[in-house]
């Protein structure tokens, strides 16, 4: 039997996964004996939620106590890493390395608890932008992170799962299998519904904020039946990258910028201004990971920067944040959850069936609009800064 466990800051995401998994199990029971699209019979695979106690001693050291017996079980461990200057809407300093250390101790705990296997699910993996040496006497930090996790998990760690790696070549930094869960189908579904009329009238263009993301933009454009444009970006030493030129026609069209992550928002905001200067009537932006780190130079919150720009931003819940945070950003931000996709992957790992067929099905269903985008959107309400409810959901 499988057991789902989670780090402190991935509780909400883990609970969403469990809810989706249980819903999937009820569906399997209703269709018992029927075959799926691959010709095989889906079987019920029940899982349980384990109990952990994680806290900090007064010295700052982390204390972990596993309350559930996991001997001879398959453990599905979820871990999320905090990002942003106010990633949990509490204005406290966020130390990502505490989250990494906690994960290492959790893996060591499971290794010493006689589990049969551990599958590690990290919707966002830090350090993957440091995938090579940029100069002499520098570490390859992405490789180091994989190595540390492998050592902590030992022989019981059987594989990783993550979403939209900054560079898929990082998969080669480990000998363990890496499942990649794309948010792409959710972006396709969202814009097919949101911009249905504009897509029919050929008034939508998908834009890559830099040359490196052209393939990603072309893929989204093909699924939406839209045109493609690319922004040429130049980075001067010690300064933020600046959008210099645009390849493609956006005049009189709605532009959708797509990237794997939004860090300080500089590239997205500069790109949006360039698109508007070239005649774009409205600019949307989507990215799997909304890091929203504070700009080290201007000290301006990324949330404030994006809101002032007039952008309509779509991200996933790969970074842990509270519902109050989402509610306070209702004017410019919408969030889609990856929980169902990860629940499906947990089932594939439990049942020993192909994950690719199930994940490909999500894209196929999104293109055909056979799923409801509201089933994935995290609900939002208008809230004042104090958290007072002042209205209903607002579409962006």
| Catalytic residue numbers, as ranges | 233
Residue 209: which of 180, 236, 248, 165 has the closest Cα?
248
C-alpha count within 13 angstroms, C-beta hemisphere, residue 367: 12
Using alpha carbons, list the distances in angstroms from residue 1 to 47, 108, 215, 329, 371.
6, 21, 40, 40, 30
Host H or E run for residue 256: strand 254-262
CA 395 to chain centre: 21
C-alpha 37/C-alpha 358 separation (Å) is 9
Tokens of 352: 């020993």
C-alpha 216/C-alpha 206 separation (Å) is 10
CA 152 to chain centre: 24
Host H or E run for residue 74: strand 74-78
Backbone angles phi, psi at 83, to 5 degrees: -140, 165
CA 78 to chain centre: 13
Q: Rounded to the nearest 10 degrees, how much is the dihedral formed by the CA atoms of 140, 141, 147, 149?
A: -170
């Amino acid at each position: 039997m499988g057991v789902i466990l989670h780090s402190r800051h991935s509780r909400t995401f883990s609970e969403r996964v469990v809810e989706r998994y249980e819903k999937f199990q009820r569906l399997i029971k209703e269709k018992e004996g029927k075959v799926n699209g691959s010709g095989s019979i889906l079987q019920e695979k029940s899982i349980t939620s384990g109990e952990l106690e994680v806290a900090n001693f007064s010295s700052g050291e982390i204390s972990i106590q596993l309350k559930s017996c996991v001997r001879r079980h398959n453990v599905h461990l979820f871990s999320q890493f905090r990002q942003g200057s106010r990633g949990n809407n509490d204005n406290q300093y966020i130390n990502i390395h505490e989250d990494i250390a906690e994960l290492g101790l959790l893996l060591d705990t499971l290794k010493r608890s006689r589990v049969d296997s551990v599958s590690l699910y990290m919707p966002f993996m830090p350090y993957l932008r440091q995938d090579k040496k940029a100069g002499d006497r520098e570490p390859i930090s992405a490789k180091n992170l994989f190595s540390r996790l492998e050592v902590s998990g030992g022989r019981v760690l059987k594989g990783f799962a993550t979403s939209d790696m900054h560079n898929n070549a990082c998969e080669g930094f480990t000998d363990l299998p890496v499942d990649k869960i794309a948010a792409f189908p959710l972006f396709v579904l969202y814009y097919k519904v949101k911009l249905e009329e504009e897509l029919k009238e050929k008034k939508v263009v998908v834009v890559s904020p830099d040359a490196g993301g052209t393939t990603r933009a072309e893929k989204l454009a093909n699924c939406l039946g839209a045109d493609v444009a690319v922004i040429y970006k130049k980075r001067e030493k010690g300064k933020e990258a600046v959008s210099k030129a645009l390849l493609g026609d956006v005049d009189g069209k709605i532009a959708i910028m797509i990237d794997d992550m939004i860090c300080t928002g500089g590239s997205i905001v500069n790109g949006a201004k360039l698109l508007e200067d070239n005649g774009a009537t409205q600019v949307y932006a989507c990215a799997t990971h909304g890091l929203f780190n504070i700009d080290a130079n201007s000290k301006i919150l990324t949330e404030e920067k994006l809101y002032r720009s007039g952008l309509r931003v779509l991200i996933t819940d790969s970074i842990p944040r509270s519902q109050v945070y989402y509610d306070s950003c209702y004017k410019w931000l919408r969030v889609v959850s990856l929980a169902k996709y990860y629940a499906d992957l947990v089932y594939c790992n439990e049942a020993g069936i192909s994950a690719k067929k199930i994940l490909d099905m999500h894209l196929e269903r999104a293109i055909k609009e056979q799923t409801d985008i509201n089933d994935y959107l995290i609900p939002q309400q208008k809230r004042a800064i104090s958290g007072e409810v002042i209205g209903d959901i607002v579409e962006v």
